[in-house]
Amino acid sequence: MTWDMDYALDSLPPILEAFLRYTLLATVLGSVLAAVLGLVFAVIRRAHVPVLAPLTTVFIEFVRSTPIPIQLFFMFYVLPSIGITLGGLFVGVLTLGVHYACYYAEIYRAGIDAVPPGQWEACTALSLPARYQWQRVVLPQAIRNVLPSLGNYVISMFKETPFLFLISIPEMVRTAIDIGGGSFRYVEPLTIAGLIFLAASYPSSVALRRLEHRVGHA
């Protein structure tokens, strides 16, 4: 099949719009949710909060053991049967954010455990309140240690946004397939979608690498 440049150029605007409106937005919002919620999960487990700590552990293991498509399906199609109806994009962001928060929690936990014991002992010796101990001493060191892993998961989430088509979100790949289905020419629109993924992922990887160097990673 020969490459049709005119067809490719006609396909670009709607694919790019889908990228900006759905793919990129879901990735950014999902990443923010995952980063915040994952940190909350990690602190709850590390602080051994009664009741919440074991429940959080069970929840994390459950979410990590089930695939994103199944989670999306239940959130979007099953919850309405019990009276809970959520918008498609909201479900997508919530599902991606919560799913990756469970992985972020384990990364944060590893970073917290890597903080030298002397730091904890110094906080105890200085009688620092728990809040300041976490905010000023533990978390800054822990997050710095796990920054490369967090960045990798952001890119992974970006590449899994095509799963949103399962809940009727017209994200970029779904839009490319719909365009191809109209003329039975899929090469151009899917190639454009792939190039947009590459164009967005590679600069993000470079930016993350520079950020790692700035905080002291080799």
Q: Number of structural domains, the chain?
A: 1
In-domain check, residue 190: no
CA distances from 41 to 4, 9, 161, 197 (A): 50, 46, 23, 30
Whether the CB-CB separation of 26 and 89 falls below 8 Å is answered with yes
For the question of whether the overall pTM of this predicted structure is more than 0.85, the answer is yes
CATH number for the domain including 147? Answer: 1.10.3720.10
Q: What is the pLDDT of residues 135-181, one digit of tens each?
A: 788 888 888 878 878 888 888 899 899 999 999 899 999 999 999 99
In-domain check, residue 17: no
Query: Residue 142 is part of which domain span?
Result: 24-172
In-domain check, residue 91: yes
Q: How much is the CA Rg of the chain, to the nearest whole Å?
A: 21
In-domain check, residue 83: yes
In-domain check, residue 122: yes
Position 215 scores a pLDDT of 63
In-domain check, residue 3: no
In-domain check, residue 57: yes
* pLDDT at residue 208 greater than cutoff 80: no
Position 116 scores a pLDDT of 83
Q: What is the pLDDT of residues 180-203, one digit of tens each?
A: 998 889 999 999 999 999 998 888
In-domain check, residue 100: yes
